[in-house]
Amino acid sequence: MILPIQNTLRTRIQDVLAELYELKPADIPDINIQYPPKRTMGDLGITVAFELARTLRKAPRAIANEIVQSIGSIQGISHAEAAPNGYVNVF
């Protein structure tokens, strides 16, 4: 069940990044989706804000906030939040 959600989430984030930052598909880094070490950090963690920080010249947290605000609703996901360190945590 989690793999289809990961694929949907990955595609949505790629679309959000292309729209927000006018990135071409070749310029979007791989969307790395991980399992956080603690369940309180979410069911999934996404690190793409770190990979984009240098390219966009923005703090990872700012990028994560913009992703979370733009991601919209996805079936099977309660909510997403930007962690202070720049991860996008998905619940």
| Mean pLDDT (whole number) for 40-55 | 97
Q: List pLDDT tens digits, range 5-39.
A: 999 999 999 999 999 999 999 999 999 999 999 99
CATH of the domain at 17: 3.30.1360.70
42: region left, alpha or beta (phi > 0 left; psi from -120 to 50 alpha): left
Q: Supply the range of the domain harboring residue 81.
A: 2-90
CA dist 39 and 35 (Å) reads 9
Structure confidence at residue 3 as a pLDDT band (50, 70, 90): confident
pLDDT of residue 1: 57
Q: Do 75 and 24 touch, CB atoms closer than 8 A? A: no
Number of domains in the chain: 1
Residue 16 exposed, middle or buried by CB count within 10 Å (0-12, 13-18, 19+):
buried
Q: Is the pLDDT of residue 75 over 80?
A: yes
